Structure 1
Amino acid sequence: MTNRRQFLSFAALGLASSSALADTLTYRDFHAALEQNAQLSVYADHSGDLSGDATVLGNLPKDLNGVFFRNGPGRFELGGERYHHWFDGDGFAQRWQIGDGKVSHIGRFVATRKFEEESKAGQFLYRTFGTWYGRKGFKNNDTLNAANTNLLPLNGSVYALWEGGSATELDPQTLATRGIKTWRSDLKAMPFSAHPKMDPDGGLWNFGTAPGADQLVIYRLSATGEVTRTAMLPIPQLNMVHDFVVSGRHLIFLVAPYDMHAEPERSLADSFVWVGDQRPMRAIVVSKDALAVRQIFELPARSVFHLGNAYEDGACTRLDVVLHEGDGMRKFALPMSGQMNMVSDNPSSVVQITLDYASGQAREARLFGVSEFPRVAPQVISSRHRKLLVLGATGRELILNSVNLIDTDSGKVDGYDFGPGWRAEEHVLVPRRGARSETDGYVVGVAQDTRRGQSVLTVFDAHNIKAGPMALARLPYRAPVCFHGNFLAA
């Protein structure tokens, strides 16, 4: 792979900002706010491993057997200092075992080099996405690897993913850390996105970016985890790309209009400058066959984190995406007061985009309001889908607390609102064995009951979400909020 050294040199950028005093004040202010607002517990620090059995309420389906792997940030505080951004926390992997009417849970920190060194030092040493510490230099991306975004089961192994560096392999039973995964020697420490997409043959597609390098790296892995194809594509004004979609013939990336101003006294997050008044959002379409850019479409300036699915429709490609109005980068900064602004500062909506290759135009159709974390049934990834699962936000503070299944043809929504005091995490569609439709199965996820300080596994009938959970499996404790995960059927 060409330009690997240059790619890594840009990927290691993420310059500066913040003093120990500022981080001490951040710590103090957050804890003062937490005493007044239990909802902020979802951003609270966590320490130590977890293990316990859940109390199951309702009817847990007999044919729901497997493991729900989850991952997210767990450690935000150390030595009296606190990170500034939700994306900064050290990875805390979780394993929900479901079967025989029972649910058990374990959770462990991913023992990355960063986590181990900082634990020993008793203070943060390395820069993160939204907070900078210059107490210790670093060799490459994996020195900074937080392994905090997704948990991917593949070929009998499980990998903690973080988009800035390598995957980290974990023991699938105990979640003990086995170490950095190098897919191929020339790919060592290369960014490997936290949002790989499975192919019908059991393999997967993934990508990596280095903000400032204007290079997009693409990976194709087989079902056994062997790298079969790679490419590095020049993309002008490329910045943070968190997710993508795969259709039958294409890989599609949405690039929001940010410039990168990597200067001293700025974190990587603060280095991204919104220029939506100067540039549109771009849809970069890459041909699977050639691994080359086929076409670029322009859309109104918005920001984006997560996409749902894509499929070919004649001479067009259709894809579903959650778009945030204006600059959404700052909305995931950790709240330091009672004001819950995670969603309301830059309202989002689910949109289906049609890319028309003949005309070069992109059309949009709105599907749903304020939302995040779109998922489709695993059996329809990269092909025609008609159901899109998202979290929705209700109430005055617009906290993500509802689960909604959208019919992308009719626009009808089958949804359930957990109500005040709850915070929903990403949910996934789990098909029954031999499923004949996208709703022939279950919706499985986790929700936080902030009033009781408990994490709860939720199971819905995918045919009838509005009826409420078929089963709730309550842990006797609160586990850290996760970003993403995947269900592995027994």
Structure 2
Amino acid sequence: MSNRRRFLSLAALGLASTSALADSLTYQSFHAALECNARLLAYADHTGDVAGEATVLGHLPKDLNGVFYRNGPGRFELGGERYHHWFDGDGFAQRWQIRDGKVSHIGRFVATQKFIEESKAGKFLYPAFGTYIDRKGVKNNDAINVANTNLLPLDGRVYALWEGGSATELDPDTLATRGIKTWRKDLKAMPFSAHPKMDPDGGLWNFGSAPGANQLIIYRLNAQGEVTRTAVLPVPQLNMVHDFVVSGRHLIFLVSPYDLGSEPDTSFADRLHWAGDRRPLRAVVISKETLALRQVFELPARSVFHLGNAYEDGACTRLDAVLHEGDALRKVGLPMRGAARMVADNPASTVQITLDYASGVAREARLFGVSEFPRVMPQVVSARHRKLLVLGASGRELILDSVNLIDTDSGKVDGYAFGTGWQVEEHVLVPRRGARSETDGYVVGVAQDTRRAQSVLTVFDAHNIKAGPLALARLPYRAPVCFHGNFQA
């Protein structure tokens, strides 16, 4: 690996040297709390691969056939120790097959280098995002790649993604791990985000973030998965950037106000210090044509994980984002230690942001209250959209329990709440063949029934979500909560 590539690889995680352990006290406090609070089951450790047939309640639409690929952290504990943060767990890929009115499920751990070595050792060896460990040295970021954030189908292949390192290829049918994907030799071991955006031509845009170097790496891949364009752009005071949006002419990144410290013996997450009292949230706009910085906008300081879609509107660009009041990053890790409340002090709102290039002003319009995981129909990505799917929470805590389709023009919401005992995962919009509107299709997702310890595939009519699920497909077991995924017809 060239010196420059190695630097950007390790800078993606802010790594210098690291040393301390995932601790047994976290393990003990979580399990004590789990006995009293079934909601924490979503953050429980998982062991072993699973496969099974779901029991379908209701009726699956005859024209809904395909595979719903999902990915998230599954292993949080090893050798009596427990990770401190939800983002740390080893990737557990899932495949929900919908065919002829039946649903089957496969779940397998991604056999990364880290997972294999630590399984053999019977203990954690490498540093994680929010847990400081240094039992074994790190040569590059793929040595600690947990492949735990998204599953991307592309050109007949499937990739497990983690923003700090390379994609990991899996078998599309069995989810068996095939190995690290190097898109191009000079890009080996470079960070490759877990939130690529598809282009109308079948290719995709993606990025890598190197906070320790204050640089963004831009990728453009064609429909065959070949890299056609790359760029490295300096972004001052860069920190964790998890997602972005693509409009007709721009790539847009929201950079929250964190400082990256240099404290020794500390995890990457613990070295991110909230600076919202001194700096704004920045919208960094990059031209798709030149891959050069066009403009930077300032908004009130908030933290952000996920964005929805973006489109051009005359001399402006409009985009959707879920913004959290203050520093939400550390609060997401609280349930790992047994805390019942997650981000009660950092309520999140879905907003539409308008970037006015002539005035240099960014304006906001609130669309929805406490929420997360915005998605649009795949055929409108980077184009004008009028429907935005989000999960909602009935209280200030970010315990997601409802599915909601927002009309971004009128503000009206078509939603369904699952009720007490449910935790809802990201849902996606799936168009019917030849769909003519953004509601001509289905909403497909997964929800956890914590009272029965079962994972459930859910299917709604996108035109009438408030009527409730058309079908629930219950597994006879609980599979780990996933972060993101994609439906492939």
TM-score range, shorter chain: over 0.9
Residue 36 of structure 1 aligns to a residue in which SS?
coil
Which sections of structure 1, spanning at least 5 residues, go unmatched?
A: none
CA apart distance, 1:164: 0.2
Residue 375 (1) aligns with residue 375 (2): yes
Q: Classify the secondary structure of the residue corresponding to 1:428.
A: strand
Give the number of aligned pairs.
488
1:413 alignment counterpart = 413
Indicate how the Cα distance of structure 1 residues 440 and 10 shifts in structure 2: closer, same or farther if over 3 A, else same. same
CA deviation map 1:456-478 (0-9, x unaligned): 00000000000000000000000
Please name the residue that 2:8 is paired with.
7
Aligned-partner Cα distance in 2 for 1:300–1:317: 18
CA distance in 1, matches of 2:151, 2:122: 27
Which residue pairs with 1:315 in the alignment?
315
CA contact (8 A) 2:19 2:134 kept: no
Aligned-partner Cα distance in 2 for 1:77–1:240: 25
Correspondence 1:74-113 to 2 at 5 A: 74-113=74-113
TM-score, length-normalised on structure 2? 0.98
The answer to whether the Cα contact below 8 Å between 2:428 and 2:445 also exists between their aligned partners in 1 is yes
- Supply the distance in 2 between the matched residues of 1:103 and 1:233 (Cα, whole angstroms): 45
Cross-structure match for 1:442: 442
CA distance in 2, matches of 1:387, 1:101: 27
The amino acid across from 2:251 in the alignment is: L
Q: Aligned equivalents of 1:9 and 1:41: distance in 2?
A: 33
Report the equivalent of 2:60.
60
TM-score (norm 1): 0.98
Matched position secondary structure for 2:401: strand
Within 1, Cα distance between the matches of 2:85 and 2:13?
18
What is the CA-CA distance between 1:334 and the residue it aligns to? 4.0
Bigger shift: residues 10-19 or 258-267: 10-19
- Spell out the pairing of 1:324-473 with structure 2 (5 A cutoff): 324-335=324-335, 339-395=339-395, 397-473=397-473
What is the CA RMSD across the aligned residues, in angstroms? Answer: 1.4
Aligned equivalents of 1:256, 1:50: Cα separation in 2: 38
Paired residue secondary structure (2:174)? coil
Question: CA contact under 8 A between 1:90 and 1:110: conserved in structure 2?
Answer: yes
3-state SS, counterpart of residue 399 of structure 1: coil
Q: Could you tell me how far 1:313 is from its partner in structure 2?
A: 0.1
Asked whether the equivalents of residues 62 and 101 of structure 2 are also in contact (C-alpha less than 8 Å), the reply is yes
1:9: Cα distance to partner?
Answer: 3.8
Deviations 1:322-356 (A, max 9, x none): 00001111121142566432232210000100000
What residue in structure 2 maps to residue 149 of structure 1? 149
Partner of 2:240: 240
Contact 1:378 1:429 in 2 (8 A): yes
How many percent identity over aligned positions?
A: 80
Matches of 1:328 and 1:369, distance apart in 2 = 16
Task: Return the letter of the residue paired with 1:66.
Answer: G
Give the match for residue 118 of structure 2: 118
Code of the residue aligned with 2:296 in structure 1: it is I
**Counterpart-to-counterpart distance in 1, 2:379 and 2:180:** 30
Q: How far apart in 2 are the matches of 1:47 and 1:345? A: 33
Cα deviation for residue 8 of structure 1 reads 2.2
Tell me if the contact between 2:347 and 2:396 (Cα under 8 Å) persists in the aligned partners.
no
The 3 A distance-change label for structure 1 pair 453 and 300 is same
Structure 1 residues 95-125: Cα deviation after superposition (integer angstroms, max 9, x where no partner): 0000100000000000000000000000000
C-alpha contact 1:150 1:160 (8 A) present in aligned 2: yes
CA contact (8 A) 1:15 1:267 kept: no
Q: Kindly tell me: are residues 294 and 71 of structure 1, through their superposed partners in 2, closer, same or farther at Cα, counting changes over 3 Å?
A: same
Letter in 2 for 1:48: G
| Cα distance in structure 1, aligned partners of 2:394 and 2:190 | 39
CA distance in 2, matches of 1:393, 1:440: 26
CA 51–74 in structure 1, closer or farther in 2 if over 3 Å, else same: same
How far did residue 6 of structure 1 move? 3.0
Give the 3 Å change call, closer, same or farther, for CA 40–136 of structure 1 in structure 2.
Answer: same
In 1, distance between residues paired with 2:19 and 2:467?
48
The AA in structure 1 aligned to 2:366 is R
Cα 1:466–1:94 shift into 2, 3 Å: same
User: Given that residues 247 and 312 in structure 1 are in contact (C-alpha distance below 8 angstroms), is that contact kept between their aligned partners in structure 2?
Assistant: yes
- 1:282, 1:12 → 2: CA distance? 21
Q: Unpaired segments of 5 or more residues in structure 2?
A: none
| Distance in 2 of aligned mates of 1:36 and 1:114 | 33
Cα deviations by residue, 1:158-213 (Å, 9 ceiling, x for unpaired) = 00000000000000000000000000000000000000000000000000011121
User: 1:270 — aligned with what?
Assistant: 270
- Kindly indicate whether residue 167 of structure 2 is the aligned counterpart of residue 167 of structure 1: yes
In 2, Cα distance between equivalents of 1:382 and 1:138: 38
- Deviations, residues 431-474 of structure 1 (Å, cap 9, x unaligned): 00000000000000000000000000000000000000000000
Q: Does 2:206 align with 1:206? A: yes
SS in 1 for 2:253: strand
Segment of structure 1 superposing worse, 5-14 or 45-54: 5-14
Between the aligned partners of 1:58 and 1:41, the Cα distance in structure 2 is 26
Spell out the pairing of 1:16-95 with structure 2 (5 A cutoff).
Answer: 19-20=20-21, 23-95=23-95
Distance in 2 separating the partners of 1:286 and 1:11: 20
Tell me which amino acid in the other structure corresponds to 2:358. Answer: A
Contact 1:15 1:268 (C-alpha < 8 Å) held by counterparts: no
Check whether the contact 2:344–2:396 (CA below 8 A) recurs between aligned residues: no
Instruction: State the SS of the aligned residue for 2:194.
Output: coil
Separation in structure 1 between the aligned mates of residue 381 and residue 193 of structure 2, nearest angstrom: 17
Question: Secondary structure of the equivalent of 1:29?
Answer: helix
Cα distance in 2, alignment partners of residues 338 and 289 from structure 1: 48
Change (3 A) 1:201 1:48: same
